[in-house]
Amino acid sequence: MHTTLVSSLALVAPGTPIRTGDTAWLLVATALVLLMTPALGFFYGGMVRTKNVLNTLMMSFSAMGVVGVAWVLVGYSLAFAPGGKWVGGLDNVFLRGVGLGGGSWGATPHLLYVCYQATFAIITVALISGAVVERMRFGAYLAFMAIWSVVVYAPVAHWVWGGGWLAQLGALDFAGGTVVHVNAGVAALVAATVLGRRKDYGRQALLPHNATYVLLGAGLLWFGWFGFNAGSALAANGTAALAFANTLFAPCATLVVWMLIDLARERRTTAVGAATGIVVGLVAITPAAGFVSPLGALALGAVAAFPSYFAILHRPRTRLDDSLDVFAAHGTGGMVGALLTGVFAQAVWGGTDGLLFGNPSLLAKQALAVLAVAAYSGVATVAILRGLALVVPLRRTATEESLGLDLVEHGEEGYARGEGAVLVLPELVPVGAPAHGDLVSPLSSQGFTSVEEAL
Amino acid sequence: MHTTLVSSLALVAPGTPIRTGDTAWLLVATALVLLMTPALGFFYGGMVRTKNVLNTLMMSFSAMGVVGVAWVLVGYSLAFAPGGKWVGGLDNVFLRGVGLGGGSWGATPHLLYVCYQATFAIITVALISGAVVERMRFGAYLAFMAIWSVVVYAPVAHWVWGGGWLAQLGALDFAGGTVVHVNAGVAALVAATVLGRRKDYGRQALLPHNATYVLLGAGLLWFGWFGFNAGSALAANGTAALAFANTLFAPCATLVVWMLIDLARERRTTAVGAATGIVVGLVAITPAAGFVSPLGALALGAVAAFPSYFAILHRPRTRLDDSLDVFAAHGTGGMVGALLTGVFAQAVWGGTDGLLFGNPSLLAKQALAVLAVAAYSGVATVAILRGLALVVPLRRTATEESLGLDLVEHGEEGYARGEGAVLVLPELVPVGAPAHGDLVSPLSSQGFTSVEEAL
Amino acid sequence: MHTTLVSSLALVAPGTPIRTGDTAWLLVATALVLLMTPALGFFYGGMVRTKNVLNTLMMSFSAMGVVGVAWVLVGYSLAFAPGGKWVGGLDNVFLRGVGLGGGSWGATPHLLYVCYQATFAIITVALISGAVVERMRFGAYLAFMAIWSVVVYAPVAHWVWGGGWLAQLGALDFAGGTVVHVNAGVAALVAATVLGRRKDYGRQALLPHNATYVLLGAGLLWFGWFGFNAGSALAANGTAALAFANTLFAPCATLVVWMLIDLARERRTTAVGAATGIVVGLVAITPAAGFVSPLGALALGAVAAFPSYFAILHRPRTRLDDSLDVFAAHGTGGMVGALLTGVFAQAVWGGTDGLLFGNPSLLAKQALAVLAVAAYSGVATVAILRGLALVVPLRRTATEESLGLDLVEHGEEGYARGEGAVLVLPELVPVGAPAHGDLVSPLSSQGFTSVEEAL
Amino acid sequence: MKLIVAVIRQEKLREVLEALFRAEVRGVTVSGVQGHGGELERVETYRGTRVKMELQEKVRLEIGVSEPFVERTVAAILRSARTGEVGDGKLFVLPLDKVYRIRTGEEDEAAVTPAPVAMDELLGI
Amino acid sequence: MKLIVAVIRQEKLREVLEALFRAEVRGVTVSGVQGHGGELERVETYRGTRVKMELQEKVRLEIGVSEPFVERTVAAILRSARTGEVGDGKLFVLPLDKVYRIRTGEEDEAAVTPAPVAMDELLGI
Amino acid sequence: MKLIVAVIRQEKLREVLEALFRAEVRGVTVSGVQGHGGELERVETYRGTRVKMELQEKVRLEIGVSEPFVERTVAAILRSARTGEVGDGKLFVLPLDKVYRIRTGEEDEAAVTPAPVAMDELLGI
Ligand SMILES: Nc1ncnc2c1ncn2[C@@H]1O[C@H](COP(=O)(O)OP(=O)(O)O)[C@@H](O)[C@H]1O
Ligand SMILES: Nc1ncnc2c1ncn2[C@@H]1O[C@H](COP(=O)(O)OP(=O)(O)O)[C@@H](O)[C@H]1O
Ligand SMILES: Nc1ncnc2c1ncn2[C@@H]1O[C@H](COP(=O)(O)OP(=O)(O)O)[C@@H](O)[C@H]1O
């Protein structure tokens, strides 16, 4: 370890020159994409019940740690190091050979490109959590994230962006419609199925405990998504501007259409719906952002509202407890976006001409890419979860679900009022002893008076 | 439609070369300004009562959809396409002719410039909402936004920034003191008057339900405002740096002075006051940001605290229910800023010399600009609202006000606890039927047991 | 004043040419660092009790005003104007001589560099507030901030970054491990000691009233910290990329290790702990960010978890009411980071070779820098607080602590429900009269009916 | 001694308090509750899931009064809390064995008579 | 007339409400409370400080009923709120001197009988 | 059987609970309420609008006890909740017709006697 460490510490690979303007933008874009993960935490966290808010937030926040480390160690290499059709090589394991010069990705430092891609890996994994909130064991979730990011995310990223078979085929995915959203959406569907429904699902109304957090998350997601899409140009150029404009205008259209459907159906425009509409528009434009015209983006955003709207409407009537509708929003939105890229893309704006411009073959390639990613993600996610289940139970018991995962997994409350809380001095509860039981027997009056007054 | 769409999709207008550094900055600045609208939602949302928090947030969030779409379709063209003294032409309707090259605005892509200006249009309209919260019908508000952004915002932007008569006159408005703040502030004043007071106004204490959101909003607004002001340099140059510094230091001064006035008057420094002080400082420096020295900005910020402070203090003693003091903060702050630009501006820092540097004529032009914008905005806003009122009632009934607009307009609660919530299966409530009535008759025991257990 | 003002307004110092890419990045980085102060407010504000949330937020927000103004007036000059070993000169007092050209700091406008450094001064002072929350008088705090920023922060910044003795010695501090974190951490320790414990400390459980705010703060802090660390390259170059990567990966490692220690000790991973772990990782990498390899950063982040984890665990068992563990997180983290910089730094990545690369002398210099900053900060902070105490009491009484500082200092509640709130017309309460007493005698029925109905 | 418990509409709280003060009832304890009665129910929608809110936000008042005050207290509440729409709430009168003022240990009538000291301060408003 | 006060588990609220409606008790007032009894306590940890939460979240029901309804109301609650684990809660029956329906001023039995008007609307659901 | 209802200061809750446990009263239900009495009122200011807060945050305790426990329970509360300042609150003793322990259906005295099972577990702390 020591020698490896020191030797890899010592290596700074050279590269082509970098450009300050492009680097400035990629620095910011990377920070913006990282911000999306906490933002997602709030988007999701607002939608669960009070007793699970911290657990839901932690599912996003912990992804930054676990997936970040996995990415440095092996994920990046498997996705982007020179390799074959299916997976990258091991040249950049532990970030060996990653320096500060430019390269095939552009005139920006290689290490920064690693960071940029890391933030994509992180958010993709965090997206899945919406399907398993309020019941999955946190330990199992941490293990799942580490494995999935390496076994599923890295290869799929390689297929599309690392020079793998989908790239060679000519399928278009500007910023991750398939790699991120179809991938996470299908994994979410599968995970919800493997985990099973929450005990109260379909019996009780499980309401968003804080709709303002849903909106906060959506606002910050939109902000961060400019880094996601316009950053994917990997330069501060016209393509970045196009991707930016499309990331602004497509969700505008989705939001307007979503509110109109809501109005038509309910005569009321829901706020959680508006937040969802924004996210769906962002998802749908993601694969197309640098390939379609702004007016095309407006049309794409408007059209994309429908499938996800009705998928979300339909889902609660099924047995599928994809609790926060990850599949309906990201899976469906990603698929629609990927397919519509095959319709609206235009060579003159930087893509390949799509259906609307006389080239139906692009649509076929897009469909193939969607299917391939969905199939691999689905199968691999089942395998990972079933494998994990052999080692550790995947979900909490019904009683623990009732107590809420904030208490059970984290030993905290989101909004503690402190009434009736009594300090326990460390000496009273031996370290490690009561532990996960969370519950100790009732306090005698001694318990109360034993609080050491003279600290 | 199909031909128009396809033909405009196909067009990518050429332009002058772009510079990566400038483009990088404008990409970020645009994202920052967009973030200001959700931020404004929280700034406003924290100030209303719990039962109206979602409605207030939605007034900002929906602006991103409605105004964004209107801007693409016609707003941009009316503001910035070559035109006359009063309004721009129709050359860029549907963004026709907008490409990715640079132009008169600078070495940044035209399309990005469209986006940047779109975010200004969005926030300007959203600002007005603070005057009509807790009572305006959401449908009427959506229509109002679409119309106002085209009929009021676009021409006024043309006057000042699109080469219109105020630009020709030589009035200075670096980043929107008149176009954005005077414009929105006066519209707010008028809207509050036309809508009338909330039924509880002046009778009950209408308290901010979450002062922490007010601070959150103020913090994010300040952050985004760097994009607003320093971005208005449209390049990453010395002017941007100057505007940035002034956007940092002027609100520092306003905040300090605001706290001192609070201390002097009440012996306490209110947090909502501090947040307001920050926003007022930001508003006041907006027209001056690229024209005055940093020390001038400090002075301007300090002076600007007074009029708005006392306007806010005075307003609740009047019959005017400009509920969140949009006029006192933005109208007054914008006017003071625009006039003080005529005092502190300096040729050597990039402006025209102002009163303090021997040129009183600038102040006269500034005053004229303020008056013209205020007059047009006032008259046009009245006309739009009165016109709308012929088609749809503008405000909710007293009963609906009591229920709160979250329930009435959006069918949701901001912070749902879920006690006593019962799932209604879609089959039980025919689509469209109960609708806006929001209220159905009480559940019989059948109602309870009819919840389908076996989804 | 008038002449000074005008003359300094008139001066625009020339400078070397600026580069747009570097300027673009520094503009953004400065905005990012400013955002950290509101973020810190939420990180801290979530950890206090409901009745002190506004006061805690205000301790951060007010720093933006007070320290910002002090920085413009004299702070910047004392830190960065040409001077001696110990403190800068007075050449840039009132920002005289600060123009828009580049200089020794890089190819970015001087004025922007002033802003960038201002945001560091602001957050450093705000950090200290965590040690004195829930009891310090706000007026005394405002005065403390103004003095400390000038008397402690400015000289220490000069030592390390302004060409002072530590810079000459060759101690490394990339982005403020000593200047910001050790400095604030030690000041916090001292302030907590001078102020004394909260009356309920060690007697009652003082719980974080909103753990989601702690996570919100941590997420925004991480986002802003990219400006803090990668911005410290003062250019959009390879060093910025390196600092960025290290600021991403080190906290990933800290977060993972923190969760593992939590799991090992409690079988639960706390959310407040995770947020703390992120911040500790960010603190620790700060001095090293541009000097160590990414793998070194990962190691550094992992190691840095331990001292702070156990410091936080230990502190509540002592008499020291450093309420939000500023010393354990920032002081300890900053020291560990500064020392590990002496271990992991590498010439090939831009630093000086450290212990691991055969140069133990760097570690000695780092230790000296830590000691010097800690000593000066400790002594000067005691002196300032004891001096202030002669003029004004530093803390609130026990009764006022019970009432909560939101009410006592700001006359507001964080989350007002408005039940039982009665409007008081200004005429009824003479301005200035009841003031800080906060309490008036009970309402007679007249009181109720005197609410003027016909405003 | 009686304990009067009333469940009223939230928006009537201020009027009821005023009426109580006019009836010279100065001590009252208030809490937020939720009620189910004959009122219409709210329907809310979250992402396509419709829920009926069976419970309405109400306010509960609890007032300990000595016998001579019972009638006027009841009358004051009944008058000021009424809108005539379904959902105005209920008023319960419970027998009370004993009342203590915690501050002084005073019992029964004495316990619910306002402290005279407060009167002086009234002038200071 | 009796006032029935029950402290039950949060998660049982829905079942208890259903049982009450089946027992034709339509009016009820609910509030969130915290209870201490024989239940195990939760331990939470905040930055290394351990705290024991002595109070559990419970729900309190308050129901005014006329004599003939007392027994079935009590039975309905006892049956539907029971899990058999420590912490199921308590039920108190208090004597009631008087009940008023605020809307109409109706007293006692009349005050707690559901308004007939509501029945028609049931069909409209 | 009596139902003891006490309205006390928030900050006294912990002391009162301790006193109750010392008096061997183990079961208690607590809720947050707001009270108006002779206390001074808080003035708050929001953007220049001044408001008087008429209601103070208080805590309400509800304890069902058997006759032999009434006196010591009352004494424990009166002693531990007192500060001597206006605003200490009130204590009401109400007659109780019946108490049930929901878990077992036990009635009256049996219903409010702590379950013996809990005693064993005490050792495990
Ligand atoms: N029997 C009851 N016991 C306790 N509270 C009741 C009872 N009946 C009604 N309430 C309370 O009174 C409120 C209004 O009652 P409701 O029957 O809807 O109106 P009305 O009294 O006007 O017919 C309910 O929301 C509930 O809180
Ligand atoms: N004597 C009492 N007076 C008032 N409330 C009580 C009393 N005893 C218990 N409770 C309430 O009932 C709840 C459950 O009581 P507990 O004694 O734990 O369970 P069980 O009744 O199953 O033995 C407590 O949390 C508390 O709210
Ligand atoms: N008559 C009453 N009925 C119900 N609650 C009361 C009554 N009088 C006072 N209270 C409650 O007791 C609290 C303190 O009462 P107050 O009269 O201010 O103090 P003190 O009892 O010390 O004179 C009040 O806030 C209120 O909650």
The residue that leads in pLDDT, B420 or A441, is B420
In single-letter form, the type of residue at position C194 comes to: V
On the question of pLDDT at A455 being above 90, the answer is no
**How many CB atoms are located within 10 Å of the residue A340 CB?**
28
Cα–Cα dist B119/B106, whole Å:
18
Cα–Cα dist A445/C417, whole Å:
36
Q: What is the best residue among F4, F36, F78 to mutate for testing ligand 3's pocket, by most ligand atoms within 8 Å of CB? A: F36
pLDDT tens-digit readout, C336-365: 999 999 999 999 999 999 999 999 999 999
Helix (H, G, I), strand (E, B) or coil at E42: strand
Question: Burial level of B238, CB count in 10 A (0-12/13-18/19+)?
Answer: buried
Chain F (39-58) residues lying within 8 Å, Cβ to Cβ, of chain C: 39-46, 49-55
**Closest ligand to residue D113's CA:** 3
What pLDDT does E37 receive? 86
pLDDT tens-digit readout, B181-222: 999 999 999 999 999 999 999 988 899 999 999 999 999 999
pLDDT tens-digit readout, A105-136: 999 999 999 999 999 999 999 999 999 999 99
A131: Cβ contacts below 8 Å, ≥ 6 apart: A188, A189, A191, A192, A195, A322, A323, A324, A326, A327
On the question of pLDDT at B245 being above 50, the answer is yes
Average pLDDT, chain D: 88
- Residue in A210, A139, A144, A206 with CA at minimum distance from that of residue A402: A206
Cα–Cα dist D10/D57, whole Å:
7
- Residue in B451, B40, B112 with CA at minimum distance from that of residue B278: B40
On the question of pLDDT at B433 being above 50, the answer is no
What pLDDT does B450 receive? 30
pLDDT tens-digit readout, A435-452: 333 333 333 333 333 333
pLDDT tier at C94, thresholds 50, 70, 90: very high
**Mean pLDDT value of segment B59-71:** 98
Q: H/E element holding E9?
A: strand E2-9
**Mean pLDDT value of segment B90-97:** 96
Asked if B114 and B105 count as a contact pair (C-beta separation under 8 A), the reply is: no
Cα–Cα dist D22/D25, whole Å:
7
| Least confident span in A182-196, B436-450, C59-73 | B436-450
**Token pair in block for residue C312:** 């936080």
**How many CB atoms are located within 10 Å of the residue B415 CB?**
19
**Mean pLDDT value of segment C390-403:** 96
E8 lines ligand 2 (CB under 6 A): no
Share of chain D above pLDDT 70, in %: 90
- Residue in D50, D43, F103 with CA at minimum distance from that of residue E12: F103
**How many CB atoms are located within 10 Å of the residue B453 CB?**
8
CA distance E86 to chain B (A): 22
C431: Cβ contacts below 8 Å, ≥ 6 apart: B265
pLDDT tier at C447, thresholds 50, 70, 90: very low
E79 lines ligand 2 (CB under 6 A): no
Share of chain A above pLDDT 90, in %: 87
The residue that leads in pLDDT, A441 or C412, is C412
Of A22, A249, A267, the CB nearest to B68: A249
Asked if D65 and D91 count as a contact pair (C-beta separation under 8 A), the reply is: no
CA distance A195 to chain E (A): 22
What pLDDT does B427 receive? 45
**How many CB atoms are located within 10 Å of the residue B193 CB?**
18
Question: Burial level of A309, CB count in 10 A (0-12/13-18/19+)?
Answer: buried
C399: nearest CA partner in chain F? F11
Sign of CA dihedral A339, A344, A350, A351: positive
- DSSP H helical ranges for chain E: 13-22, 67-81, 108-112, 117-122
pLDDT tier at B440, thresholds 50, 70, 90: very low
Report helix angle B271-285 to B332-344, nearest 10: 50
Length of chain F: 125
**Mean pLDDT value of segment C102-112:** 97
pLDDT tens-digit readout, E88-115: 999 999 999 999 999 999 997 888 776 5
**Which of C8, C20, C54, C66 would you mutate first to test chain B, the one with the most B CBs within 10 A?**
C20
Of C428, C429, C441, the CB nearest to D118: C441
What number does the ligand 1 atom closest to the CA of E29 have?
27
Question: Burial level of A433, CB count in 10 A (0-12/13-18/19+)?
Answer: exposed
- Residue in B202, C285, C314 with CA at minimum distance from that of residue A455: C314
Beta-strand relationship, D2-9 and D90-95? antiparallel
Q: What is the dihedral of CA B82, B85, B90, B92, to 10 degrees?
A: 40
pLDDT tens-digit readout, A216-245: 999 999 999 999 999 999 999 999 999 999
pLDDT tier at B432, thresholds 50, 70, 90: very low
DSSP F69: H
Alpha-carbon separation of residue C213 from B213, C38, C47 (angstroms): 11, 11, 8
Q: What is the best residue among F2, F26, F28 to mutate for testing ligand 2's pocket, by most ligand atoms within 8 Å of CB? A: F28
pLDDT tier at C203, thresholds 50, 70, 90: confident
**How many CB atoms are located within 10 Å of the residue C17 CB?**
7
pLDDT tier at C150, thresholds 50, 70, 90: very high
DSSP E114: P
**Which of E4, E102, E120 would you mutate first to test chain D, the one with the most D CBs within 10 A?**
E102
What pLDDT does C67 receive? 98
The residue that leads in pLDDT, A36 or C3, is A36
In single-letter form, the type of residue at position C396 comes to: R
Asked if B280 and B250 count as a contact pair (C-beta separation under 8 A), the reply is: no
On the question of pLDDT at B233 being above 50, the answer is yes
**How many CB atoms are located within 10 Å of the residue A319 CB?**
12
Asked if B348 and B341 count as a contact pair (C-beta separation under 8 A), the reply is: no
Q: Which residues line ligand 3 (CB under 6 A)?
A: D 27-29, 62-64, 101, 103, 112, 115; F 7, 35-39, 56, 58, 86-90
**Which of A213, A258, A278, A313 would you mutate first to test chain D, the one with the most D CBs within 10 A?**
A313
Q: Taking the CA of residue D5 as centre, how many other CA atoms within 13 Å lie in the half-sphere pointing to its CB?
A: 25
User: Among all chains, which residue has been given the structure tokens 């039982």?
Assistant: C420
DSSP string, C187-232: HHHHHHHHH---TTTTTS----S-HHHHHHHHHHHHHHHHHHHGGG
What pLDDT does B448 receive? 33
Average pLDDT, chain C: 91
D54: nearest CA partner in chain A? A205
- Residue in E93, E62, E52, A403 with CA at minimum distance from that of residue F21: E52
pLDDT tier at B75, thresholds 50, 70, 90: very high
Average pLDDT, chain A: 91
The residue that leads in pLDDT, B10 or A45, is A45
- Residue in F44, E110, A240, C105 with CA at minimum distance from that of residue D90: E110
Cβ contact (<8 Å) for A410 and C270?
yes
Average pLDDT, chain B: 91
Q: What is the best residue among F90, F91, F92, F94 to mutate for testing ligand 3's pocket, by most ligand atoms within 8 Å of CB? A: F90
End-to-end CA distance of chain D: 32
CA distance B427 to chain C (A): 37
pLDDT tier at A425, thresholds 50, 70, 90: low
What pLDDT does B447 receive? 34
pLDDT tier at B7, thresholds 50, 70, 90: very low
Of F17, F30, F114, the CB nearest to E38: F114
What pLDDT does A418 receive? 79
What pLDDT does F121 receive? 45
Cβ contact (<8 Å) for E18 and B449?
yes
Helix H, strand E, coil C: the string for chain B is: CHHHHHHHHHCCCCCECCCHHHHHHHHHHHHHHHHHHHHHHHHHHCCCCHHHHHHHHHHHHHHHHHHHHHHHHHHHHHHHCCCCCCCCCCCCHHHCCCCCCEECCECCCHHHHHHHHHHHHHHHHHHHHHHCCCCECHHHHHHHHHHHHHHHHHHHHHHHHCCCHHHHHCCCCCCCHHHHHHHHHHHHHHHHHHHCCCCCCCCCCCCCCCHHHHHHHHHHHHHHHHHHHHHHHCCCCHHHHHHHHHHHHHHHHHHHHHHHHHHHHHCCCCHHHHHHHHHHHHHHHHHHCCCCCHHHHHHHHHHHHHHHHHHHHHHHHCCCCCCCCHHHHHHHHHHHHHHHHHHHCCHHHCCCCCHHHCCHHHHHHHHHHHHHHHHHHHHHHHHHHHHHHHHCCCECCHHHHHHCHHHHHHCCCCCCCCCCEEEECCCCCCCCCCHHHCEECCCCHHHHHCCCCCC
pLDDT tens-digit readout, C280-307: 999 999 999 999 999 999 999 999 999 9
Question: Burial level of B433, CB count in 10 A (0-12/13-18/19+)?
Answer: exposed
pLDDT tens-digit readout, C313-332: 999 999 999 999 999 999 99
pLDDT tens-digit readout, E17-40: 999 999 999 899 999 999 998 877
Kindly list the residues from chain F whose CB atom is less than 8 angstroms away from the CB atom of residue E87: 103
pLDDT in tens, chain F (125 residues): 999 999 999 989 989 999 999 999 989 999 999 999 887 778 999 998 899 998 999 999 999 999 999 999 999 999 999 999 999 999 999 999 999 999 999 997 888 876 544 444 444 43
Cα–Cα dist C453/B339, whole Å:
37
What pLDDT does F115 receive? 52
Ligand 1 center to residue E108 CA distance, Å? 13
